Structure 1
Amino acid sequence: MRIAIAGTGYVGLVTGVCLAEKGHNVVCVDTDENKIAWLNLGRSPVFEEGVEELIAKNRDRLTFTTDYRAAYKNSEVTIIAVGTPEKKDGSANLSYVFQAAIQIAKSIERDTVIVIKSTVPIGTGDKIAKIVNDNLCHRVNAEVTANPEFLSQGTAVKNTLNASRIVVGVESEEAERVLREVYRGFDQEMILTDRKSAEMIKYASNDFLALKISYINEIANLCELVDANINDVAYGMGLDPRIGGSFLQAGIGYGGSCFPKDTKALHWLANFHDYEIKTIKAAIEVNENQKLKLIKKSQKYYDSFYGLNVAVLGLTFKPNTDDLRDAPSLQNIPILLDDGAHVKAFDPIGEPNYRKVFPTEVEYCESIEETITDADICFIFTEWGVIKQFDVSKFAQLMKNPIVLDGRNCYDLNQMKGQGVVYESIGRRTIVGKAAHAEFLHPGKLVRGSVVYTHKRAMEV
């Protein structure tokens, strides 16, 4: 089929290369000329495993352009995959979606099925249907459908080609027929419903996962107080098939392009209808507090960061992506800088994007070793594989004061015993190595002797 896609962000680009892989002729449209030029060179503007390989493999079926009129003119299916960023009030900004709908309506010269893949509030499909009908320039039929995506950054290509389900919201048999043809090469079950229900499935799914993360983080915080181990608790919970083990990894909160804005958007939508989803409101509040968990832990060791060398490992919101949206580092590093810290940071992929935010304020390093050398404290914000596989004995060898605050539980507690390191993670007991205590006889630290005097679970090993 001839398919046009509006938008070459994570969703649009991944959708485009995957549909081309399944044999469709795909043209991807974007207003950013630099991005299109980059794509026409076979380079992906986002770091996502498998995208560049699929671009190269399917060049005969895949094109990139800024000419939306030519792209939409004779497309059998036109997919809207533009961004829906968060407004200041928490609602979704639909201006890009509406703009794309108008451009499509004015360009199409044949019957077309318009597919909304962008994450949009429930009822947006009805608004787009009206916009399209009001702006048609030719006597054609344009069916508007909802087809939300469920990809995860870092594994987006795999999630698309091997989706857990394909959700389609249609209002006519013809639209159903066309979308069945689009996904004919996919093995996954197609969930057929109406537009509004399809839109709700997307929000309900994302917000439930966000709620699950906030819940396990709340349990982790309580584990620290009652001397329980969150790893064991989460494992025991996850064995119950009604619960499952996914999204039960305790840490310093969720980030990224979906969960933060989708929880706020659904919360706003409910309020608009004079209703409050209390669980979603709580998930948002818990997540915002959780992002500062390590800063709060650090106050047990230093009254101020002024003049301290602070090491930061991981800048992106999750591993295997260069995306910084709502990454905990964006909230924590400004606090460190404002308090007078000298911040050295390492991230295997995210550094170029982070330099756009902090071009000179942060010292960027090429390795973990360089980052932690002479550091007074180390924060871990992202569970990159290179960080999880790091030789932990080097913390004591290279740091001035080996205090490691791990927001992603990268290391096994037994692994940290005897390393001469103060090691605090999320929902687990604090490890204080015997060799570490002599380094903490500084009046600016709240560490005395060989035991951290914070709560009963700090222990000497």
Structure 2
Amino acid sequence: MNITIVGTGYVGLVTGTTLAELGNTVYCVDIDSKKVDQMKLGIVPIYEPGLEEMFLRNIQAQRLFFTTNLKEALDQSEVIYLALPTPPGEDGSADLSYVLSVATQIGEMLTDYKIIVNKSTVPVGTANKVRQTIAAKTNIEFDVVSNPEFLREGFAVEDSMNPARVIVGSESEKAQEIMAKIYQPFTNTGTPIIFMDEKSSELTKYAANSFLAVKITFMNEIANYCEKVGADVDKVRLGMGSDDRIGHRFLFPGIGYGGSCFPKDVKALIRSGKQEGFDFQILEATEDVNQAQKIILVSEIENYFRGDLKGKKIALWGLAFKANTDDIREASSLDNIKLLLEKGATITAYDAIAEENVRKILGDEISYAPDMYSALQDADCLLIATEWSEFKNPNFDLMAARMKQKVIFDGRNMFALEQVENTDFRYKSIGRRTIG
């Protein structure tokens, strides 16, 4: 089947590459001509484990193409996926201007039947808005489908090739049949495809992400309470997770969630509720708690240095919002950097993957180290903000030799307490006893 993907951001590029891997001919459209030219040369514009290999394989197989010409791609495809940004506005609502602008263009270009698939995360009712926008420009038959993605950054290739489920929101039998054909390689191996109306499909994505954000935030609250009463959050987490009604995933405490999905989707669902006169009280609390959690270690650092951070050199391990991605959107590291700089500290950071993206925002406001140990040179303390695997088993002797003061504030609970107990380090993590 010939498929067009409009938008080559994270969702669009992974989706397009996956659909090509399934044997389809895929045309990826983007207005950024420089980006399109680079992709034609085999340059992947995002970091995602396993994506480059699949990307190059499908370019070489002539199943994956890139263009700035929407009309050209549209004419060659029956199914058009919209994978466009829906950034939050000042009030938290999702900005649909990109989606509706492309919908207008599609309406003006239609010459035969197409299925327009909303892959972007959009508020309830967006399918209707897209349908109305296109219909205002054409009398040609078309269908609009909601088909939300559930990709985890860092595991997107795995998730795209082995989805837990495929959700298709459409009440058109014709559209359902074609979408079922696209996803037949998955359903043949046992992946369920769940058909529903468009509004339910749209809400499913927001509900799923918001629930996970609540789960993470609840665990962070439990971790903070553990510190008050002397309990160990690791043991509590294991005890909770062994209940199959709860499960072990998303129970790891830390300095809050970030990224492109959870913060944006929680805000958007809160705002959508208010537009209907409904208050998502649990989500409002989740948002407030998460924002405080992201910088919870700054007060610990400040207390350790008796309220004076002026001139203190802080080493920072990790800049991405999570491991295995270069995404720094809503990253806790940025909140900590901003606050620590305001208090007079200096920062030397290390993150081999996300450094370039932070440089674009912060420039020389902080320093950057070529490796994790160089970042520690003459540091008064270390703050860990991202759970990169290379941080899990460091050389504590080498760390101690580099640092001015042997103090670690671990925002991701990277080390078992036993790892640190026989060192000279003072070690503060989340929801566990402090060592040293």
Partner in structure 2 of residue 256 of structure 1: 259
Q: Which ranges of 4 or more aligned residues in structure 1 deviate by more than 2 Å?
A: 392-397
Task: Please give the alpha-carbon distance, in whole angstroms, between the structure 2 residues aligned to 1:377 and 1:385.
Answer: 20
Stretches of structure 2 that go unaligned for 5 or more consecutive residues are none
2:302 paired with 1:299: yes
2:52 paired with 1:48: no
Task: Please give the alpha-carbon distance, in whole angstroms, between the structure 1 residues aligned to 2:48 and 2:36.
Answer: 17
Residue type at the aligned position of 2:371:
S
Partner in structure 1 of residue 81 of structure 2: 79
User: Could you list the per-position Cα deviations for residues 195-248 of structure 1 after superposition, in whole angstroms to 9, with x for gaps in the alignment?
Assistant: 000001100000000000000000000000100111111111011010001000
Post-superposition offset of 1:98: 0.6
Partner in structure 1 of residue 381 of structure 2: 377
2:332 paired with 1:328: yes
Partner in structure 2 of residue 64 of structure 1: 66
Of 384, 387, 405, 2:391 maps to: 387
Task: Please give the alpha-carbon distance, in whole angstroms, between the structure 1 residues aligned to 2:282 and 2:397.
Answer: 42
Partner in structure 2 of residue 169 of structure 1: 169
Partner in structure 2 of residue 451 of structure 1: none
Task: Please give the alpha-carbon distance, in whole angstroms, between the structure 2 residues aligned to 1:367 and 1:96.
Answer: 39
Task: Please give the alpha-carbon distance, in whole angstroms, between the structure 2 residues aligned to 1:16 and 1:288.
Answer: 34
Task: Please give the alpha-carbon distance, in whole angstroms, between the structure 2 residues aligned to 1:111 and 1:50.
Answer: 35
Aligned residues: 430
2:275 paired with 1:272: yes
C-alpha RMSD of the superposition: 1.0
TM value normalised by structure 1: 0.92
Post-superposition offset of 1:347: 0.5
2:219 paired with 1:216: yes
Residue type at the aligned position of 1:101:
A
Task: Please give the alpha-carbon distance, in whole angstroms, between the structure 1 residues aligned to 2:115 and 2:366.
Answer: 48
Task: Please give the alpha-carbon distance, in whole angstroms, between the structure 2 residues aligned to 1:105 and 1:419.
Answer: 66
Post-superposition offset of 1:140: 2.4
User: Could you list the per-position Cα deviations for residues 318-357 of structure 1 after superposition, in whole angstroms to 9, with x for gaps in the alignment?
Assistant: 0000000000111111122222222100002000111001
Of 93, 103, 121, 2:105 maps to: 103
Of 198, 203, 208, 2:206 maps to: 203
Stretches of structure 1 that go unaligned for 5 or more consecutive residues are 433-461
Residue type at the aligned position of 1:155:
F
Partner in structure 2 of residue 457 of structure 1: none
Aligned ranges 1:95-134 → 2 under 5 Å: 95-134=97-136
Bigger radius of gyration among the two:
1
Task: Please give the alpha-carbon distance, in whole angstroms, between the structure 1 residues aligned to 2:257 and 2:25.
Answer: 36
2:182 paired with 1:182: yes
2:321 paired with 1:317: yes
Post-superposition offset of 1:134: 0.7
2:238 paired with 1:231: no
Task: Please give the alpha-carbon distance, in whole angstroms, between the structure 2 residues aligned to 1:336 and 1:33.
Answer: 39
Aligned ranges 1:433-452 → 2 under 5 Å: none
Partner in structure 2 of residue 417 of structure 1: 421
User: Could you list the per-position Cα deviations for residues 245-300 of structure 1 after superposition, in whole angstroms to 9, with x for gaps in the alignment?
Assistant: 10000000000000000000000111111111111111111100000111011122
Contact 1:4 1:75 in 2 (8 A): yes
Partner in structure 2 of residue 342 of structure 1: 346
Partner in structure 1 of residue 36 of structure 2: 36
Task: Please give the alpha-carbon distance, in whole angstroms, between the structure 2 residues aligned to 1:221 and 1:396.
Answer: 28
User: Could you list the per-position Cα deviations for residues 135-179 of structure 1 after superposition, in whole angstroms to 9, with x for gaps in the alignment?
Assistant: 22xx52110010000001111111111001000000210010110
Post-superposition offset of 1:403: 1.1
Contact 2:241 2:247 in 1 (8 A): yes
